[in-house]
A and B are shown apart, each in its own frame.
Chain A
Amino acid sequence: MGILTEIIAWFADPGNWEGANGVPARAVEHLWYSAASFAIALIIAVPVGLWVGHTDRGGTVAVNVANVGRAVPSFGIIVLMFVYFGLGFAPVLVALVAFAVPPMLTNTYTGVRDVDPEVRDSAEGMGMRGGQVLWHVEVPVAMPLIMAGVRTSAIQVVATATLAAVVGLGGFGRYIINGFAVQDYPQMVGGAVLVAVLALLVEGVLAFLQRLVVSDGVAGESAEIVAKARSQLRPAASTSS
């Protein structure tokens, strides 16, 4: 088990926990890339998804844009942004946001759209206005799917932020890129383990948050809803949904 001890040694080395290339500094960078792009994507995707779902206008366009997005490799777009706009966080941020929007947008949209029409009708029959129907009925009922979309986007952002290191930025991806360049396998695995742990942590925190914000009556089987959300987007060529 030589490899394993080398990897443990990498984590145990105090030198790997200090300075600009230390784990804490790389963690801050990785979290910053992820949080900034996730927040911007959230601010774009959820309101648009709610509006499109509530009014049921432009849904096909929204889903198709999201579908095309799935077929475009994020790695290529990040490098392309770099080649056109140079080194910097802004080009990478744009790419990260572009890939974080579709899962949240589609799931918010389909969640609101698929609210039982009878539930919506009875809310209107009780005298609720459009906005009230949205906030008090549609959003709570759609919440499991909205949160599943949020979780999918979040872990995707954490994973894709690793690629920022390819175009000269920081984050945990640095260990993978630097390690590969000099064939330092323990360093690469160190980076890989850190990214994987971060993704699982984010997933765990959001799964916990989902329990808090989703009403018991519509909670359903969490694993099934998340699986549904992650296989929600139809491939690009299909327009049948």
Chain B
Amino acid sequence: MNPVVAQTGGQAGIDWAWIGRNSGYIGEQFVEHLLLTALPLLFGFVIAFALSLAAVRWPRLYSPLLSVTGVLFTIPSLALFVILLGFTGLSIWTAVIPLTIYTLLILVRNIVEGFRGVPPEVRDAAEAMGFRRPRQIVRVELPLALPVIFAGLRIATVTTVGLVTISALVGQGGLGQLFLDGYSRRFPTPLLVALALSVALAVAADLLLLAIQRALTPWTTKEA
């Protein structure tokens, strides 16, 4: 059906020798991918946490906050990368800023829902015990909100791992570079390697976050 594949001598299978020769390069792109995933999640979480605390304190802010982050979420990632390119050039920020923006909708929603899910009795009890507001948030409400917050973090993480690949189209590193290599040479091996690594990274990060959540909230696993 497709003569292009045949011309380059590539088969449908994996060229293991190519992987061996390029393991250093693959490793570099993988590390870059990790960085481009971790930074937006870190920044996104800090920003979303602050916004969410404000939305919990002033509930009227919540709906507009979701609308604004929802509109930002609607803008296609490639479009945002391109627009950023004019301001931040080929620096890492061209990928990090849009990816941070995309985490906000998911994180804000889950952090706020997490705090909202704290039973009012618990809040009353904490108040009656003499907790001041900031300490009550950290010591009482945050632990109870953690499972929902972590659910959001996991979704944001898996989403970000996938979105990072697109930033290769505006000159960023990461596993998307291997997609471009596979494209320009009509060669499936880099594509299959990058797809496998990207899915593996998403699953590994997801499991890691799940393990951290279970360690932080041991009471949730006892019921399950």
Contacts and interface: CB of A to CB of B under 8 A. Distances in A.
Interface of A: 3, 68, 70-77, 79-80, 82-86, 155, 158-159, 162-163, 166-167, 173, 176-177, 180, 185, 188-189, 191-193, 195-196, 199-200, 203, 221, 223-224, 226-228, 230-231, 233-238, 240
Given A80-B182, A80-B191, A237-B210, 9 more contacts: A73-B175, A75-B179, A76-B179, A86-B5, A180-B82, A188-B85, A189-B83, A199-B75, A230-B106
B1 interface: yes
Given A70-B158, A155-B74, A189-B83, A79 B170 contact: no
Interface in B34-84: 62-64, 66-67, 69-71, 73-80, 82-83
Contact of B203 (A166, A227, A236): A236
Given A71-B202, A177-B169, A238-B154, A82 B85 contact: no
Nearest to B195: A76
Majority SS at the chain B contact face:
helix
A167 B183 contact: yes
Nearest to B158: A235
8 shortest A-B CB distances, which residue pairs?
A: A159-B76, A86-B2, A192-B82, A192-B79, A71-B202, A223-B66, A235-B158, A237-B206
Interface in B69-120: 69-71, 73-80, 82-83, 85-86, 105-106, 108-110
Contact of A235 (B77, B194, B202): B202
Contacts of A68: 199
Contacts of B83: 189, 192-193
B77 A159 contact: yes
A83 B78 contact: no
A17 to B, nearest CB: 20
Contacts of B165: 73, 75-76
Interface residues of B, number: 68
Interface string B201-220: 01100110010000000000
B191 A162 contact: no
Given A74-B162, A76-B198, A159-B78, A83 B187 contact: yes
Residue of B64, B80, B109, B224 ringed by the most chain A CB atoms within 10 A: B109
A228 B109 CA distance: 7
27 contacts: A70-B159, A71-B198, A72-B199, A73-B161, A73-B195, A74-B162, A76-B175, A76-B176, A76-B195, A80-B195, A82-B183, A83-B183, A84-B188, A162-B78, A166-B169, A185-B86, A188-B85, A189-B82, A193-B79, A203-B71, A223-B64, A227-B108, A230-B105, A234-B154, A237-B203, A237-B210, A240-B224
A195 B78 contact: yes
B4 A86 contact: yes
B85 A163 contact: no
A191 B192 contact: no
A80 B181 CA distance: 11
Interface string B171-189: 1000110011011001110
Residue of A185, A203, A235, A237 ringed by the most chain B CB atoms within 10 A: A235
Residue of A70, A158, A167 ringed by the most chain B CB atoms within 10 A: A70
Nearest to B209: A235
A191 B179 contact: no
Interface string B1-36: 111110000001000000000000000000000000
Contacts of B71: 200, 203
Given A80-B182, A231-B155, A233-B155, A223 B63 contact: yes
Contacts of A71: 158, 161-162, 198-199, 202-203, 206
Contacts of A77: 195
Residue of B78, B151, B171, B210 ringed by the most chain A CB atoms within 10 A: B78
A196 B186 contact: no
A128 B176 CA distance: 53
B78 A176 contact: yes
A73 B177 CA distance: 13
B166 interface: yes
A163 B198 contact: no
B162 A73 contact: yes
Nearest to A173: B78
